[in-house]
A and B are shown apart, each in its own frame.
Chain A
Amino acid sequence: MSTPTRERDAMSRACQTIGAVMMAGYLLVSMQGCSKTVEGTSGSKTTEQGVVKAPVTLPGEERVSDDIVVAKAEPEAARQRTEEMKQEAAATAGTGLQDVFFGYDSWTIIDGGKQALGADAQWLKANGGKALTIEGHCDERGTQAYNLVLGERRAKAVRSYLTDLGVDAKRMAVASYGKDRPFCRDHNEDCYQQNRRGHLVLRVK
């Protein structure tokens, strides 16, 4: 179809004409308008006759255009990642591995956590070929950014404790999601407790 080409030619002529009569300061604005218009041709309205009109910017006019292109999604990469995470969750569910819970603003392993990690260490020793990701999570209080750091400390505290129990640190990767992947979404202490967590996930790759 030759119409778009004709339009671009017409646009380009219009821009050149405008450019020629513009003073330098104005030129910048007009040229932005022109180049943007060419890109935006596909978004032009189609009239009832089916003729696509190209926008024109005349001397003395200032074109207001949009300047953001939406980034292309990578659906295949996203789909693969989602699939792998589902597999990991399913594999973890069959192991009996237990999560660890923390106090407010704390990354100290407390008594309940020690028992859970003792059992986890037993399982890991019995299943020497398996590798883990330890995710650190936080409750909704505090800033998102600082909770990323806090979550990492929790994950590392878990790894450190398991290492002390004789599990090879190389089998345990750490991650932090701060408060941005919560297990529970209510605004009360029961929920907060669920989210202050070291979450153990079996790796499938």
Chain B
Amino acid sequence: MTSRMTRRSKIIAGAVLGLAGAGMLGSILESGAADVYLEAARPDFQKVPIGILGFQDGSLPSRPGKEAAAVLAVDLRRSQVFAVADASKLGIALTGPNAPEKQKLKQAVGLGVKVLVWGTIGTRDPDYLLDRFVYDGGSDEIGASKRYVGSAALLRQITHRLADELVARYTGEPGIARTRIAYVSEQKGARELFIMDYDGHAPRQLTSDGFLNLTPQWSPDRKFLVFTSYQSRTRQNIEIVDLSTGKRSPLVSLSGLNITPAMSPDGAKLAFATSQDGNSEIYTMEMQTKALQRLTVHSAGDLSPSWAPTGKEIVFTSDRGGGPQIYLMSADGSNVRRLTFDGDYNAAPAWSPRGNWVAYVCRSEQRQYKICLISPDGQKRAQLTSGQSIDDSPSWSPDGRHLVFSSTSGGKTQLYMINSDGKEMEPLTSIGSHNSMPAWSSAEIQTVDSQPTEKK
């Protein structure tokens, strides 16, 4: 019996799959893979055990098949929808482009996997072609193949697309493997905007202003970023950049600070904080008419608005009670009430896309700045991160299962991903002296294919 398998996962695996060989399963599934509780999603969801048999790449010199299999395995593990089996223990060797024998696939299912995926990667200059096959143990069928094409430079994106397809197929929801994270990075002493893939790959510099660009947030259609851009020592705007053209335009140029923009879920309004009235207040602006509406009226500082996914409420930071705390209000500024009461420093709230949590920065009893969660009714609260560091700017993945945030835990300020249950924290950036203020994009709008989702 493997020592990597916990007692709890044994029980779950045995119960869920109804298999006699729970011990065998333990040796196939990666360590911790049977940890099934999805804090922010569906508590009853059991991970789907999947085996990746590999991608035949013929004689292609760069071994894209190996890379695709590795990327897919990480995507599927991160999705929290799948438990990825150790393919080498399934007894199936892909030989050439032909499908494995059905008998072998059935045997693998007998070992505890439910889904098997494999494929081929070929070229059609200048593209890669990825043909994928999926065998579902439930239906005992190899469904229709599907071909993804893309430039060879986009192999990771092509593989991410396959991961998202599999997630959509077994959850009915879009995957996050093709989402992006916008953030702020120090370049030559300045703060510039960057965008990277959700897994930290392919960072791209968006601005080269040589000064300060801060607090980026995505438009809901993920075609634009809004952010604070310093024009001069004393003047700063909230700007919008069209990511398909690179065109930048000013949105808010009021006197004073114009910070922490956040577009409403329907894209019709921009909430932000401005100090044109003397101290920082939250306003909304209609994107069409540019009409302003003041939401907060208080002599203290109000900032960092974050919309509920319904668009009906806004959570924000205010120090009207002394130190900074998290408050809620209706989207018209009425019905203001305080949400956090634990501790004397709570700030930078981010409402989860599922609506059931607000992530924020809390100061712990050890005076460390940590990532915390609180339910919008204030009833449930959890501290996600621990240790000696300054953690900041939590932002949710569109599936609500992950957060990205900045932390000084490695010495420099870098970005990390963490599951919404506080597990599996992993670094996303490691290059440079400072990466901060991450903002996770919405999921790509995908055509979800109409295969049945897994029945529970």
A161 part of interface (Cβ distance < 8 Å): no
Question: Contact partner of A57 among B126, B149, B241, B257, CB < 8 A?
Answer: B149
Closest Cβ of chain B to A32, distance in Å, is 10
Give CA–CA (A205, B275) in the complex, Å.
Answer: 24
Give CA–CA (A64, B153) in the complex, Å.
Answer: 11
In contact, B157 and A64 (Cβ under 8 angstroms): yes
B348 part of interface (Cβ distance < 8 Å): yes
Give CA–CA (A56, B123) in the complex, Å.
Answer: 12
Give CA–CA (A62, B408) in the complex, Å.
Answer: 41
Asked whether A69 and B244 contact (CB < 8 A) given A40-B151, A148-B259, A187-B408, the answer is yes
Candidate in A47, A57, A73, A180 with the most chain B CB atoms within 10 angstroms: A180
Asked whether A67 and B369 contact (CB < 8 A) given A88-B233, A146-B317, A149-B303, the answer is no
Contacts of A140 in B (CB 8 A): 390, 408
Give CA–CA (A56, B381) in the complex, Å.
Answer: 52
Interface of A is mostly: mixed
In contact, B125 and A144 (Cβ under 8 angstroms): no
Give CA–CA (A144, B260) in the complex, Å.
Answer: 10
Asked whether A175 and B233 contact (CB < 8 A) given A66-B154, A66-B157, A149-B303, the answer is yes
Closest Cβ of chain A to B251, distance in Å, is 15
Contacts of B195 in A (CB 8 A): 68
Candidate in A53, A62, A135 with the most chain B CB atoms within 10 angstroms: A62
Question: Contact partner of B154 among A65, A69, A78, CB < 8 A?
Answer: A65
In contact, B150 and A69 (Cβ under 8 angstroms): no
Q: How many residues on chain B are close to A (CB under 8 Å)?
A: 69
B256 part of interface (Cβ distance < 8 Å): yes
Give CA–CA (A120, B207) in the complex, Å.
Answer: 37
Candidate in A28, A43, A53, A55 with the most chain B CB atoms within 10 angstroms: A55
Contacts of B150 in A (CB 8 A): 63-65
In contact, A145 and B348 (Cβ under 8 angstroms): yes
In contact, A143 and B149 (Cβ under 8 angstroms): no
- In the complex, residue of chain B having the shortest beta-carbon distance to the beta carbon of A47: B125
Contacts of A201 in B (CB 8 A): 233
Question: Which of B37-45, B208-216, B351-359 contacts the other chain?
Answer: B208-216
Give CA–CA (A72, B210) in the complex, Å.
Answer: 13
Give CA–CA (A144, B436) in the complex, Å.
Answer: 9
Contacts of A135 in B (CB 8 A): 233
Please, what's the 1-or-0 string for B248-279, where 1 marks a CB less than 8 Å from any CB in chain A?
10000000110110000000000001010000
- List chain B positions with a Cβ less than 8 A from chain A: 124-127, 129, 146-154, 157-158, 161, 180, 191, 193, 195, 204-212, 214-215, 231-234, 241, 243-248, 256-257, 259-260, 273, 275, 280, 301, 303-304, 317, 319, 323-324, 345, 347-348, 361, 369, 390, 392-393, 408, 436-437, 447
Inter-chain pairs besides A43-B151, A70-B206, A77-B209, 20 sampled, C-beta below 8 Å: A43-B153, A64-B157, A65-B151, A66-B157, A67-B244, A68-B244, A70-B204, A78-B208, A81-B231, A133-B233, A141-B369, A144-B393, A144-B436, A145-B347, A146-B319, A148-B214, A149-B257, A149-B303, A178-B214, A181-B212
